Amino acid sequence: MKKMLTLLAVLSLLGHFAAQTLPAQKEAGQKLQGTITISGAWALYPMVVKWSEEFRKLNPDVRIDISAGGAGKGIADALADMVDIGMVSREIHPVEIQKGAWFIPVTKDAVVPVINQDNPLFKEIVKKGIKKTDFTRIWLNEEPPTWNELLGGKGSVQVHVYTRSDSCGAAETWALFLGKKQEDLLGIGVFGDPGLNEAVRKDALGIGFNNINYAYDATTLKPMSGTAILPIDLNANGRLDPEENFYANRDAIVSAIADDKYPSPPARDLYFVCKGQPKKQLVAAFMKWILKEGQKFVPEAGYIGLTAGKISQALVKIGQ
């Protein structure tokens, strides 16, 4: 009788464990489904669209809604729980962390200055480049210098300065390069990365700044039609040395950023931000896939991959 009771107890215990593990096994084998909502930085938008397309090939029952509008919108939407993920193209502020911002890096890019190819002094400008101190004069002085003065001469060819009107990582990163904040930048405010590039394209005397994937054409990999990247005279010697000349195409500048030849800032990490650790299993799964599998799509999209160390830290943070 005792043996029978013992056997029944063991069978009951095994049944209990089976009941506990079966749902977990079933859940692990389930196909991912549901919706992920994402908003924010123009800088991250093309990359996230690519990731979304590839992720949905593996998980067709998943819907990913993505909208651009600037890093400020992305982090505001995330902290207000209006979206699952905010795309942010700048460092996360301490006050945002205090409000519950949880974040991981997902890739890297940079901001570059752009000018019009029809600038009357174009050949001389791209041959000499512009010093960092002169960029400060352009965006921080009430009366910017003339193009002639920037080249060390005299003349009245005016500089028409453009900046971003929306709260964004590109403007904040460019301002940080100049030792200031976005609100310190002067110039005609234009909304969004595409809008700023178009404004410069339409103005022969214009100057602005773009994230690299809006400064370069995704098909030709050359600067957007009608514009050119304004080289930075990094060593301030008054000429563009061969090792400073890596702007001809997108691949060249991506390599320069990866090799730390381009300054940081304006090179920077790009982030996913949530209000606290991701609440949806689907969101966490998407992030893990980006860090493990999605990095292989980064170079072809015109971005720079994360280091192995940053990927490992991010996976730990998600709860891998």
Q: Reduced to 3 DSSP states, what percent helix, strand and coil does the chain have, rounded to the nearest 5?
A: 45, 20, 35
Contacts of 277 (CB under 8 A, 6+ apart): 102, 318, 319
Mean pLDDT computed over 280-304:
97
Domains and CATH numbers, the chain: 34-108+268-318 (3.40.190.10), 110-258 (3.40.190.10)
Mean pLDDT computed over 4-20:
38
Q: What is the pLDDT of residue 12?
A: 42
What pLDDT digit, counting tens, does each position of 82-127 carry?
Answer: 999 999 999 999 999 999 999 999 999 999 999 999 999 999 999 9
Contacts of 79 (CB under 8 A, 6+ apart): 86, 96, 99, 100, 101, 273, 275
pTM of the model: 0.88
Mean pLDDT computed over 220-248:
96
Rounded-to-integer distance, Cα 269 and Cα 41, Å: 12
Integer-rounded Cα Rg, in Å, for the chain is: 25
Q: Token pair for residue 46? A: 């093309």
Mean pLDDT computed over 290-311:
97
Rounded-to-integer distance, Cα 242 and Cα 248, Å: 12
272: pLDDT strictly greater than 70: yes
Amino acid residing at 302 = G
Mean pLDDT computed over 259-287:
97
Mean pLDDT computed over 244-263:
96
Q: What is the pLDDT of residue 31?
A: 87
- The dihedral formed by the CA atoms of 152, 155, 156 and 160, expressed in degrees to the nearest 10: -20
Q: Token pair for residue 319? A: 């709860």
166: pLDDT strictly greater than 90: yes
Q: Is 17 exposed, middle or buried (0-12, 13-18, 19+ CB in 10 A)?
A: exposed
Residues 112 and 247: beta-carbon distance below 8 Å: yes
Q: What is the pLDDT of residue 24?
A: 30
pLDDT above 70: percentage of residues in the chain? 90
Amino acid residing at 289 = W
List 188's β-bridge partners, or say none: 162
Mean pLDDT computed over 265-272:
97
CB count in 10 Å sphere of residue 196 = 31
